[in-house]
Structure 1
Amino acid sequence: MRIRLHGIFPTALTLVALVGCPPITEPPPPDNANSNTNGNDNSGGSDDALIRTESLRGVHSIVYQLQGDPQLELAPLRAADADLLVIDYSADGSDGAAFNPDQIAALRDSGPAGKVVLAYMSIGEAETVRFYFDNAWLTPDPSVSPEGPFTLTDAAPPFLAEPNPAFPDNLKVRYWDAEWQQIIIENAGGHAIIGDAKSYLDRIIDAGFDGVYLDIIDAFEYFGPNGSGERPTAASDMIDFVLAIGRHARQTRGKSDFLVFPQNGANIVDVDAFAPGEIPAGQTRAAYAAARRAEYFAAINGIGAEDAFYFGDADEDNPPNPQEDILSSLDDFRAAGLLVLSIEYLTQPAQIATFFDQAGRRGFVPFASVRALDRVP
């Protein structure tokens, strides 16, 4: 597993209304005067009464860990003073080291009130360590030269795009491709790559996770009109992908309380994310964006956002640099009753305390750690 960089390929290894869902009533915006400063104990200022999803109303602290040395260990996570965990579904990223239902149940039941446990899943990039990846798609062979640099071979599937320049063992994917979505969401069998094997999402559901934390949502920026331009409908395609993930878990699999958290890409519901050419005749761009926004908000339970307060080039401890457009978008998510997880890569206690105060005032649940996300702070 590798750590992604912020931006179009955000840091990550270190989150039509559904049929049958009740209508969503937007609660009032958060009380920005509510400050909840807790030093660096990873607890924050979420106001339970404003959170739409009942199982998330007690979430005031989180731990986000996706790797370890040499692998992810569950004992420290069971002992962690946290209400919500974001972890990989596997100790080392491979399917052979996937956690089993008993392990996840023990994690969920740990602590005085138990924990909500989300599984990390990248849907905007392919990772060479994952069960679906064939090393024949790249040269040199990733098992021999894991650092690359890689180029695609003729054997690579059409959905696979170029490697992430920062981390070449993560490759961009054309996430709207049906073959990729079958790997991620539901495999009816006979797949050209994974045969009759279970999809990524079904593996997570069967392991007993409470939900998924979806990474590389903002791949839509890379492929969309403001990026390469390859896919004019990139934002809508990503929204549809997230909606389909929720439908499969909640309806097809019958997990009605399954949680869906995108990570980053809060601007996916902005008006300018949608190309004029995709707007239906007789509908304004603003009205179309509002409808897509309502669908997206109804399908998700919260959002994770990295580097919104301390954006910069350093791995950790960047100076304050609030991304006001992103923070404004996150306020909208929060006002809609969605849980906002604010993640910063900080190690200095004074800076962490300031961040916790800032996040708490907006009603966000803060988390501070190293960018590698390889420990419980």
Structure 2
Amino acid sequence: MPVFATSTGNVTVNNWGYQLHAPNGLNATALANETHDLIVMDFSSDGTGANSFSSAQISAIKDGPGGRTVAVAYISIGEATEFRDLWDASWTSNGLASGTLTASAPSWLGPTNPEWPEGRKVRYWDSDWQDKIFNDAGTGWLDKIVAQGFDAAYLDIVGAYYYWAVDVPASERQTGDPAAGDEKDAAQRMIDFIVDLTAHARQTNPYFFVIPQNGEFILDALEGTDPVRKAAYLDAVGAIGVEDIYNPGNLDENNPFSPDAERISVLQNDFLGNGIPVFSVDYVNTSSLVTSFENQAAADGFIAYAAPDRDLNVMGPEIGAGPGAATSGDDNLTGTTGADSINGLAGNDIIEGLAGADFLDGGPDTDTLSYQNSGAAVTVNLQLDTASGGDAAGDIISNFENVEGSAFDDDIRGTTGVNTLNGNDGADTIRGDSGDDTINGGAGNDQLYGERDNDTINGGAGNDRIHGGNLDDTINGDAGADTLIGDAGSDTIHGG
């Protein structure tokens, strides 16, 4: 496995992860709980400088629960996107990348990306564009991530060299652009850009390196006639990242397994053959596709990461995570006694983090947060996404509909949706909130409140006090001397 030299020592990388977004913004605490050896991420919670992560947050991410993590910041060097700080709404007629260019648009701003209309291609060799990425004043995108403490930069849209040589419409060509079909010239310009930005970063951090994403044919484009540029490029590049090598196709996720032999060959010859590791990401989340991808990538000498979705909204498990890894089906996922990060993805999942300050995300569908094995009482509020006490101490939770409590005196509250809330043993206090909830007190003297909507409430063993709420509830006292109060609505009450 590759070993990367960083400012704090060597780091062996057996696996990696890749996340740029999250429903409520990229979460530095969640990333710090990830155990991946190398993490590619955005430099901020929302892609803007206003919400960039602090040096302390990046330091915490690098000091991961699984040991030292290589922290890598995403940068697009071949495209300008409308949601980044470097974008100026005056450049187009509607302020967006899809608009018509105005007289205010810089000469380096090129055509809209037909596959992603939020971005426009850029003339990456233009000095004004390059100043947006790095400059002597230290105000470029790269300068910011170096100052934050990132170990490396993940360079997207390196393949723009091919676009400007081959794909750009003739009507969009300007004086000074690479000639039509001149891949060598376009590749040389991209290599020079990457070498220069890496050299600039190394003035601050001598260990800094870059990981280009795609553009794996760039050395072939030199036609074997430019050994100096090739050597400079390989010195700047610590690894290469590639997408869709094993599951290419038009679907966002889960394209059929069909390895691209030509791309694999050039990666093995031009990069692995020169001591440059290959990080391969495919967008798959079904067990069979993940297994096929990981196994074949390993056989080819690559380090795989199966991204659950193309938007990179969630962090997938480490390579080879095995049967406990999340899938798009119904999973039963259990963490360790350390700080875990578990995302259930799609399906009706049961997730138990155990002890440790865990990041637990149920994902879509109907998911259960379990604290059944906690050694002390827990307090859980699904509406506020908060959890504390016992195994819940320090946990960050989201996207759960159901709760399994501990054997102690828990305090559990549901959401405004439909919940199943199980107190289990102990004298629990459970409130359903809105929605047609099912509340099970379990053993112990519980206080159970359906609150709003049509709830089913089962007291279980013990002397329980049950309030139905304001609509038509079904209340079962079960064993014990219970106090059963229907409150408003046409209730059905069984004393037990």
Deviation at 1:114, TM superposition (A): 2.0
User: CA RMSD, aligned part only?
Assistant: 1.9
Show CA shifts across 1:207-244 (max 9, x none). Answer: 11111000000000110156557414111000000001
SS at match of 2:12: coil
In structure 2, the partner of 1:281 is none
Counterpart of 1:265 in structure 2 is: 215
Where does 1:178-217 land on structure 2 (aligned, <5 Å)? 178-188=127-137, 198-217=139-158
In the TM superposition, 1:47-86 aligns within 5 A as 47-48=1-2, 53=5, 58-86=12-40
C-alpha offsets along residues 300-342 of structure 1, whole Å, 9 cap, x if unaligned?
1000000011111110111122222211121121121112100
Show the 5 A alignment for 1:335-374: 335-369=273-307, 370-374=309-313
Q: Kindly indicate which of the two structures has a greater share of residues assigned to helix.
A: 1
Larger radius of gyration: 2
Q: Which moved more, 1:222-231 or 1:202-211?
A: 222-231
* Contact kept in structure 1, 2:209 and 2:236, CA below 8 Å: no
Q: In 1, are the aligned partners of 2:281 and 2:304 still within 8 Å (CA)?
A: yes
SS of residue paired to 2:279:
strand
Structure 2 distance, partners of 1:310, 1:223, is 26
Please say if 1:101 is aligned against 2:55.
yes
Shift of 1:106: 0.7
The counterpart of 1:308, out of the listed 245, 256, 263, is 245
Structure 1 length-normalised TM: 0.76
- Unaligned 5+ segments in structure 2 are 317-496
Q: Which amino acid aligns with 1:168?
A: P
The separation in 1 between residues aligned to 2:213 and 2:229, in whole angstroms, is 18
Which residue does the alignment assign to 1:239?
191
For residue 256 of structure 2, what is the amino acid of its counterpart?
P
Cα deviation for residue 259 of structure 1 reads 2.0
- Contact 1:214/1:263, CA 8 A, preserved across alignment: yes
Q: How far apart in 2 are the matches of 1:167 and 1:139?
A: 18
3-state SS of 1:224 partner: helix
Separation in structure 2 between the aligned mates of residue 245 and residue 219 of structure 1, nearest angstrom: 16
| Residue 209 of structure 2 is aligned to residue 256 of structure 1 | no
* Amino acid across the alignment from 2:159: D
Q: Using the TM superposition, give the Cα deviation of residue 368 of structure 1 relative to its aligned residue in structure 2, in angstroms.
A: 0.6
Structure-2 separation of matches of 1:79 and 1:107: 7
Structure with more strand by fraction: 2
Taking the aligned partners of 1:292 and 1:312, their CA distance within structure 2 comes to 33
**Over residues 77-115 of structure 1, what are the superposed CA-to-partner deviations in whole Å (9 max), with x where a residue is unaligned?**
222221000000011011101111011011111213121
Residue 152 (structure 1) aligned with residue 106 (structure 2): no
1:164, distance to aligned residue in structure 2 (A): 1.0
Q: 1:294 is matched with which residue: 231, 253, 262?
A: 231
Q: What fraction of aligned residue pairs are identical, expressed as a percent?
A: 36
> In structure 1, what is the Cα distance between the partners aligned to 2:247 and 2:148?
35
Taking the aligned partners of 1:177 and 1:348, their CA distance within structure 2 comes to 43
- For residues 70 and 313 of structure 1, the distance between their equivalents in structure 2, rounded to whole angstroms, comes to 28
How big is the shift at 1:72?
A: 0.7
Change (3 A) 1:135 1:260: same
Compared CA separation, residues 358 and 330, structure 1 to 2 (3 A):
same
**Residues 64, 87 of structure 1: 8 Å contact kept:** yes
Structure 1 gaps of 5+ residues are 1-46, 143-147, 189-196, 275-284
Q: Give deviations 1:241-266, integer Å, cap 9, x for gaps.
A: 0001110011x32x111121100001
Q: Deviations over 1:182-205 (max 9, x none)?
A: 1112144xxxxxxxx711111011
Read off the aligned partner of 1:202 and give its amino acid letter.
D
Structure 1 match to 2:161: 220
Q: Counterpart of 1:304 in 2: which secondary structure? A: strand
- Contact 1:316–1:346 under 8 Å retained in 2: yes
Which structure is higher in RCO with an 8 Å CA cutoff and minimum separation 6? Answer: 1
TM-score, normalization by structure 2? 0.58
8 Å CA contact 2:11–2:70 kept in 1: the answer is no
Residue-by-residue CA offset, 1:45-93 (whole Å, 9 max, x unaligned):
xx34xx5757675111111000110311122222222100000001101
Q: 1:112-164, CA deviations, whole angstroms, 9 ceiling, x for partnerless residues?
A: 3121100000000011122221101112123xxxxx73111111000001111
**1:331 is matched with which residue?**
268
Assess if the C-alpha contact under 8 Å between 1:122 and 1:216 holds in 2.
yes
2:59–2:149: 8 Å Cα contact kept in structure 1?
A: yes
- Checking the alignment, whether the CA contact within 8 Å between 1:61 and 1:82 is kept in structure 2 is yes
Q: What is the aligned length?
A: 301
What's the counterpart of residue 124 of structure 1? 78
1:92 corresponds to: 46
Equivalents in 2 of 1:303, 1:149: separation in Å? Answer: 30
How do residues 21-40 of structure 1 correspond to structure 2 at under 5 angstroms?
none
Runs ≥4 residues deviating over 6 A: none
